[in-house]
Amino acid sequence: MSLVKVEKLGKSYNSQTKVLKDISFEVGSGEFVSIIGPSGAGKSTLLRCINRMVEIDEGKVIFDDLDVGSLNKKELRKMRTNIGMIFQHYNLVPRLSVIENVLHGRLGYKTTLQGVFNKFTEAEKEHAFFLLKKLGIEDHAYKRCDQLSGGQQQRVGIARSLIQEPKIVLCDEPIASLDPNASKVIMDYLKSITMELNITCIVNLHQVEIARNYSDRIIGLSKGGIVFDGPSYRLATDNTDEIYGTKTVETRKLVTV
Amino acid sequence: MNEKVMRNHRKRQTIIFSIIIIVLTYLSSDITNFNIIHGIATLPEAVKWIFSNLFINGETLERLPKILEKLAETILMSIAATTTATVVSIFLGIMGSKTTGTSTALGMFARFVASIARNIPVVAWALILLLSFGQNSVTGYLALFVGSVGFLTRAFIESIDEASLSAVEALRATGATYFQIVYKAVIPQCLPQMISWILFMIETNIRSATLVGILTGTGIGYSFDLYYKTLNYNAVALVTFSIVLSVIVIELISNHIRKVIL
Residue A201 domain-assigned (yes or no): yes
Nearest CA in chain A to B186: A93
Compute CA distances A153 → A88, A176, B53, whole Å: 11, 13, 65
Residue A107 domain-assigned (yes or no): yes
Residue A257 domain-assigned (yes or no): no
Name which of B167, B170, B184 is nearest A115 (Cβ-Cβ): B184
Name which of B173, B175, B179 is nearest A116 (Cβ-Cβ): B179
Extended strands (E) in B93-250: none
Dihedrals phi, psi of A225, to nearest 5 degrees:
-125, 155
Residue A23 domain-assigned (yes or no): yes
Cα dihedral across residues A230, A233, A238, A244: positive or negative = positive
Contact yes or no for A160 and B174 at CB 8 A: yes
* Strand A200-205, strand A32-36: pairing: parallel
What span, in angstroms and rounded, lies between the C-alpha atoms of A141 and A183? 21
Q: pLDDT in tens for each of the 257 residues of chain A?
A: 689 999 999 998 888 888 999 999 999 999 999 999 988 888 999 999 999 999 999 999 999 999 999 999 999 999 999 999 999 999 999 999 999 999 999 999 999 999 888 889 999 999 999 999 999 999 999 999 999 999 999 999 999 999 999 999 999 999 998 999 999 999 999 999 999 999 999 999 988 889 999 999 999 998 889 999 999 888 888 788 888 877 554 444 544 44
Q: Which domain holds residue A62?
A: 2-244
Residue A249 domain-assigned (yes or no): no
Residues in chain A within 8 Å Cβ distance of B185: 93, 104
Residue A138 domain-assigned (yes or no): yes
Residue A256 domain-assigned (yes or no): no
Candidates B94, B177, B182, partner chain A, best to mutate (most A CBs within 10 A): B177
Name which of A53, A94, A115 is nearest B177 (Cβ-Cβ): A115
Q: In terms of Cα–Cα distance, which of B140, B113, B114, B146 is closest to B127?
A: B140
- How many other CB atoms sit within 10 Å of the CB of residue A16? 6
State pLDDT tens for residues B80-117. Answer: 999 999 999 999 999 999 888 888 899 999 999 999 99
**Bridge partners (DSSP) listed for residue A34:** A203, A218
Say what the pLDDT of residue A257 is. 44
- Residue A206 is part of a domain; what is its CATH number? 3.40.50.300
pTM above 0.95? no
Residue A169 domain-assigned (yes or no): yes
State pLDDT tens for residues B180-224. Answer: 999 999 999 999 899 999 999 998 998 888 888 888 888 888 888
Here the ipTM equals 0.88
Q: Which amino acid is at A43?
A: K
Q: List the alpha helices (DSSP H) in B122-165.
A: 122-133, 137-162
Contact yes or no for B173 and A78 at CB 8 A: no
**Mean per-residue pLDDT, B13-31:** 90
H or E segment to which residue A60 belongs: strand A58-63
* Strand A168-172, strand A83-86: pairing: parallel
State the total domains in chain A.
Answer: 1
Say what the pLDDT of residue A54 is. 92
